[in-house]
Homo-oligomer: A and B are copies of this chain.
Amino acid sequence: MPLAPEVDLSRLAATTPGMVGADLANLVNEAALLAARRNRETVVSADFGDALERIVLGAERKVMMTETDRRRTAYHEAGHALVGMMTPGADRVRKVSIIPRGPSLGITFSSPDVDRFNYSKQELEARIKVAVGGRTAEDVVFGDSTTGAENDIEQLTLIARHMIGRWGMSPKLGLVAVLPRDGAVPFGDDGFSERTHELLDEEVRRTIDEARVDVDALLRRERLRLDSLAEALLERETLDEVDAYAAAGVESPADASAP
């Protein structure tokens, strides 16, 4: 099935760093399928976008939510997204949505402009902040928090532990690989002392806490942008990159992969 002339394959590739040949072939197939189901004779840009989402983010799911739950979800995702837009080192925000997918009530999807090999300390801290953003927005707006941040907390704990325990990013612990590769017994022996694990835990807690404090200040300071982004989500349910940055009143960064 032919592509519509408006499809900009190079732009599409730029938003899918990390995908290899087989992934891209799969993407083209999904897009063709969607176009066929929609009775089109050419595959248009929207088909590619929707196909990409199905693959990366999971299929949308119909769920009966109360208005209270919808509002909370909107602010949760707006929190992730706004922190992602305003934190140096964070990946570009590609899409924000409060349509449930898989186990999630909403999603914020970010990706870098180019394939990444290594991450700097600043970039990792930005990832922690984006993850903290959803939960902190709930705190700022509703004054309490819910169980909905479970996955975020698990993910940011994992990043912080690797920063301190494998990547040597805490002066207190130094360049010591305390944590083993996934699933491996460290060094064929019975590992490190309790005292070292205490140091690790303290540094992890400190790293996460500092991120939380920064994000809390950011979201209070930028409350108007947060409200505006959340309102846009409640109204339109899904925002692509351009609409999301516009709704938040944040200028979209220049594309690092642009020629």
Binding site for B on A (CB under 8 A): 63-66, 69, 72, 105, 114-115, 117-122, 124, 132, 135, 142, 144-150, 153-154, 156-158, 160-162, 165-169, 173-177, 179-184, 186-198, 200-201, 204-205, 208-209, 212, 256
Contacts and interface: CB of A to CB of B under 8 A. Distances in A.
A142 to B, nearest CB: 8
Contact of A69 (B69, B118, B205): B118
9 contacts: A69-B118, A120-B146, A145-B169, A147-B167, A150-B177, A153-B167, A153-B168, A176-B204, A194-B195
A171 to B, nearest CB: 9
B174 A179 contact: no
A190 B190 CA distance: 10
Contacts of A182: 188
Nearest to A197: B193
- How many copies of this chain are found per oligomer? 6
Contacts of A65: 117
Contact of A180 (B64, B69, B189): B189
A192 B197 CA distance: 7
Given A150-B166, A187-B161, A193-B194, A212 B174 contact: yes
